[in-house]
Each structure stands twice: as structure tokens, then as C-alpha cells.
Chains A and B, each alone.
Chain A
Amino acid sequence: MIDKKIAATICEYAGKAVSERLCGDGDVIAMRTKSGFVVNAAPFDGLTEDKLVEVNAGDASANALLSALFSTREDINAVMITHPAYVRAVADAKATIPAVVDDMAQIVGTTCKTSKSAEVGDVLKAVKGRNSCLIAGGGALTSGRTMDEAYTCALVLDKAAHVFICGGVIGGCKIINTFEAKLMRFVYKKKYSKTNQQNISQREGE
């Protein structure tokens, strides 16, 4: 039996992703549970609670990437893999998005790398020590302590991809220096986000 709060949260954020045009083929949305994780078994558009499945930790037939993420990253409770057009273009180019705007520095980090391939090992390497990466030839993997954090990260990453691509035709983006980008990320994580995420976590379930 899937936890009602978790199921409702997943469906709510899948709907938000649809309305923000973050979606494409193969979108994934998942949340950690006490025994494993809950993941969508149907596209985001019109996703309902009966189209979610609960996977037990250690189930060999489960989504290997999600299993690996939830088992190795205790800081991650929610994951989204979305496919907006600008993100796909950067992922196809296997490029790294630098901190082109300050909300990216705060919410995503100093850079967002694209994995070398779509293989699980390469994706885990690209997301190591971070909350997001792009999947070569695919979309954006974003994660968070809460689903709200994973979704916000997906939104900001989509904008950063848009800015990065379009900036190229008007002379290139000016990148925020690493020290200031790290400072903004630190302040966001420690000052603005911690209490908020704890409150959201209680609302979202487990």
C-alpha cells in the first residue's frame, strides 16, 4: 500500500512539471519510502495514484539508477528526470552548464555536468557530490531532500540551459566566479533552505 501523502505529492509535482513544460519521453518521478521508493509507471500528464508502483530496496528488477541513488545517497529523498527541450539540447551536446545566473548558483550549484553516457555508472559519477546532472542524450536528473527541492532544481536548470544556449548567439554568458557561486550555494543551503525543507518534508510524507 503506497503512502497517501507520498502518492499525492508525486502526482502534484508531476502535474506541475507538465504545466511548466518540463516533460518529454521517459520522465521519471520518485520518492524514498521506509522500505524502498515509489516511482511513476506512466507518463506525467494525467498521472494518478493508481499509476505509481512501490519498489523494495534491493529489488534487482527495479530501475537501477533510482535504486543506486536511493541506496548510496542518504541526502536524497526525491528524484525527477525531466526532458525539456533546452536541457535535451545541452545533454545532446554533452556540455557542462556553468553558473550563468545567480539562482542556478544557489539552487543547482556552480556547474551542472552531462554524464559521459547514459550508463548508470556514468550518471552516478556525474551527480556525485551534487544534486543534479544531465544525462547524455537524455534529460535532467534533479534530486533533493524533498520533492519540492528536486522540482525547483529542475525548473532552474531548464532556465539555465535556455540562458546558456541563447547566450551563445549574443557573445556568450558571463560566468559567475566560482567563489561567489559557492558562497551563494552555501547561503541558500544553510540559511534559506534548511528550515523550509524540513517543513516541506513533513508535508510531503515519510
Chain B
Amino acid sequence: MAWDKEEEKRLRQVIKDSGVALLAENLVQGTWGNTAVRLDEDHMLVTPTGLDYVALQPEDMPIVQISDPSVWSDGKKPTSERKIHAAIMAARPEINATIHSHPVWCSVFASAHVELPVMSEEMQKLVGGSARVGAYGLPGTKKLRNGTVAAMQGRNACFMANHGVFCAGGDMDEAFEIIRIMERSCRQYIEQKTLEATGQKTYSDELLFDYFKSKYGK
């Protein structure tokens, strides 16, 4: 372990703040999301499993070994999804911060297994292209992890089939920019598709609901 203790202290606060910000920006429900920041080539700080982000303290964050995420020290028991964070950090040395969450608009694409095309210059710049869907796998499985790593190739975000979204950046601020643009772009695409499906010019939730009822109503 070769990193500056002051830097570790700063990064612990970054993780703590990231959890609170996910909640404040409605990008996570309850404790069902997790974040990680790189300490060095083989170590990262992650959020603990199942704990309230507001109550969480910087010293609660465990240090996890990237090359073998079953090895961890300090803090509380790390998130069970640490293997995915570790796999991305191992495969992508330029990535220093990762976010995994299940925000609603991204979850639509994850559930429909639909690739999100580039919706704006900002999305192209931040995500690096379209957002693909990783192969489906049960939570915590190698299949889910490998599917996520494959879908992230050349991208800074992807959907995890029937699960959520994964975003990665050079630092936590960038990772947040990426999850924000993903959620905005997903919403924009769905609103566009609703207008196309209904032939209307102005989107409203009522328009979407009426379309749904006409299609699925009994």
C-alpha cells in the first residue's frame, strides 16, 4: 500500500459525499447503489454494504484489493458488488472513480435490453459513444461482471441487463457527470419515442399513460 494518508482521508470524504449526492439527486433508492475510488494501482475505497449513506462516516469505507476483491481491510463490510468495480479498475487504468446504481430512466433501458444511441455532443464526450447493455446475469455472478466489463469497452457507461447502470470517470466529479447525462439522455429518448408512437408533438406523462393503457389495458 503506497499512497498518501492525507489523500486517503480526502478520498474517504469523496466516497461519503458521493453517496449523499446520489440520494439528493434521486439517482439511487435507499442504499441500493455503490461507488468506488482508486487509491493506487491495486487498491480502492468502496461503499460498505447496506448502510444508510447519510449516516455513513468516511472511516466506514473499506479498502479493497483490486486484483483480489475478496481481500479487504479497515472500515465496514464492503458492497457485494465490489468485484464489478474492481474488474473495471483493473481493466481500465485511466478510471479512478466508479458508480453503480439503479436510477429509474436508466433502468428502463436495462430492462428492455436496448442500446441508447448518442443523444447529444455532451453524451458523446462524456460516455464516449452509445451506451450498450451488458449480458444478463444474476446479481453477484461472474456472468454479470464479465458482461459489464465487455459492455464498458471504449465507453464510460453501460447498462446492466435487468439490473441498473455502471458509470466510470477519471474522478468522482466526472463519474457523476456521466450518470447525470445517462439519466437525462434515457429520459429524452423515451419522451421522443412516446411522441413517435402517439403522433403527438408535446410530451406529457398523461400521453405516455394513455398510450400504455391503450396497449396493455384490460
What is the interface of chain A, defined by CB distance below 8 A to chain B?
20, 85-86, 89-90, 92-95, 99-103, 152, 155-156, 159, 162-174, 176, 180, 183-184, 196
- Determine how close the nearest CB of chain A comes to the CB of B77; give it in whole angstroms: 13
- Determine how close the nearest CB of chain A comes to the CB of B207; give it in whole angstroms: 10
| CA of A173 to CA of B163, assembled, Å | 12
Residues of B within 8 A of A166 (CB): 105, 108, 190, 208
- Determine how close the nearest CB of chain B comes to the CB of A192; give it in whole angstroms: 8
- Determine how close the nearest CB of chain B comes to the CB of A190; give it in whole angstroms: 15
| CA of A184 to CA of B144, assembled, Å | 14
Majority-rule SS of A interface residues: helix
- Determine how close the nearest CB of chain A comes to the CB of B24; give it in whole angstroms: 11
Q: How many residues of B contact A (CB 8 A)?
A: 37
Which of B68-76, B91-99, B145-153, B210-218 is the contact stretch? B210-218
Question: Is A169 a contact partner of B194 (Cβ separation < 8 A)?
Answer: yes
| CA of A100 to CA of B111, assembled, Å | 6
Asked, given contacts A156-B29, A159-B107, A170-B108, whether A102 binds B213 with beta carbons under 8 Å apart, the answer is: no
Majority-rule SS of B interface residues: helix
- Determine how close the nearest CB of chain A comes to the CB of B15; give it in whole angstroms: 22
Residue B125 is within 8 A (CB to CB) of chain A in the complex: no
Contacts A95-B216, A180-B138 known; 8 new A-B pairs at CB < 8 A? A89-B212, A93-B212, A95-B218, A156-B29, A159-B104, A166-B108, A174-B113, A174-B161
Residues of A within 8 A of B197 (CB): 169
Question: Is A184 a contact partner of B138 (Cβ separation < 8 A)?
Answer: yes
| CA of A180 to CA of B110, assembled, Å | 17
| CA of A95 to CA of B215, assembled, Å | 10
Which of A85, A152, A180 is within 8 Å of B30, CB to CB? A152
Residues of B within 8 A of A94 (CB): 217-218
What is the interface of chain B, defined by CB distance below 8 A to chain A?
29-30, 32, 50, 102, 104-105, 107-114, 136, 138-139, 161-164, 189-190, 193-194, 197, 205, 208-209, 211-213, 215-218
Residues of B within 8 A of A86 (CB): 209
Asked, given contacts A155-B30, A165-B209, whether A170 binds B112 with beta carbons under 8 Å apart, the answer is: yes
- Determine how close the nearest CB of chain B comes to the CB of A97; give it in whole angstroms: 10
Residues of B within 8 A of A20 (CB): 29
Residues of B within 8 A of A155 (CB): 29-30
Asked, given contacts A102-B163, A103-B32, A152-B30, whether A171 binds B212 with beta carbons under 8 Å apart, the answer is: no
In the complex, residue of chain A having the shortest beta-carbon distance to the beta carbon of B113: A174
Asked, given contacts A170-B189, A174-B162, whether A162 binds B108 with beta carbons under 8 Å apart, the answer is: yes
Question: Is B107 a contact partner of A163 (Cβ separation < 8 A)?
Answer: yes
Question: Is A165 a contact partner of B30 (Cβ separation < 8 A)?
Answer: no
A85, A93, A156, A168 — most chain B CB neighbours (10 Å):
A168
| CA of A89 to CA of B206, assembled, Å | 9
| CA of A162 to CA of B107, assembled, Å | 9
| CA of A130 to CA of B103, assembled, Å | 25
Asked, given contacts A168-B212, A169-B211, whether A101 binds B163 with beta carbons under 8 Å apart, the answer is: yes
| CA of A102 to CA of B138, assembled, Å | 8
Question: Is B217 a contact partner of A93 (Cβ separation < 8 A)?
Answer: yes
Which of B32, B139, B205 is within 8 Å of A184, CB to CB? B139
Which of B29, B108, B218 is within 8 Å of A93, CB to CB? B218
Question: Is A171 a contact partner of B190 (Cβ separation < 8 A)?
Answer: no
A93, A168, A170 — most chain B CB neighbours (10 Å):
A170
Residues of A within 8 A of B107 (CB): 101, 159, 162-163
Residues of A within 8 A of B111 (CB): 100-101, 163-164, 167, 173-174
Residues of A within 8 A of B113 (CB): 174
Question: Is A101 a contact partner of B162 (Cβ separation < 8 A)?
Answer: yes
- Determine how close the nearest CB of chain A comes to the CB of B202; give it in whole angstroms: 15
| CA of A204 to CA of B112, assembled, Å | 38
Residues of A within 8 A of B110 (CB): 101
Question: Is B102 a contact partner of A101 (Cβ separation < 8 A)?
Answer: yes
